[in-house]
Amino acid sequence: MPKALRNVISLFLGGGSPRAIAFGFAMGMMVGLMPKGNLTAVAISTLVLATQANLTAAGLAGGLFTWAAVWTDPLAHRIGTSLLAQPSCQTYLAKFYEWPLAPWTALNNTVVLGSLTLSLILFYPAYHLAWLLFHHYQERIGQKLDEFHVDRVLAGAEAAARLATSAPPRKGQA
């Protein structure tokens, strides 16, 4: 736990440029909104790892938006249903599903297709908002965290936890 908290705090202590953090946040939003267990979610997750996205920001956003997806799924279902009802989309998906890996994308599922569409629509606003926040507040928050030596305290807690788990048991405790 201390290591994860240190990673979050490092976002404010200069652990990445505001652009990389914002991109990680936006990509994490896409991962979080997407239902898991399909090739589409795997492809987006792989894209997060293959780019210069900040993984801590992506992980935080992924967790946050996975939790929020419970409330966005009805909207995603409506979006997916309206897209799948379009004749042009049906024609495209019928041809697409003839490809070998296409059925594993689950784009015939209304929630998967709607979540992908919703996350693509929200990608730039999420990126821009995260960039604005980190561009303007990263240094200020980092200075406050540095004043309280939060990073050093967490580093000590992490080292103590590692030491406690790697130490041999004392006599009588085995």
Instruction: Report if pTM > 0.85.
Output: no
Give backbone dihedrals phi and psi of 9, rounded to 5 degrees, phi first.
-65, -30
CB atoms within 10 A of CB 13: 16
Helix, strand, or coil (residue 145): helix
Cα distances (angstroms) measured from residue 119 to each of 84, 136, 158, 159, 174: 17, 25, 35, 39, 52
Query: Per-residue pLDDT for the chain (174 aa), expressed as one digit of tens each?
Result: 555 655 656 665 566 788 988 999 999 999 999 999 999 999 999 999 999 888 888 999 999 999 999 999 999 999 999 999 999 988 988 899 999 999 999 999 999 999 999 999 999 999 999 999 887 776 666 666 666 655 566 556 556 566 666 656 666 665
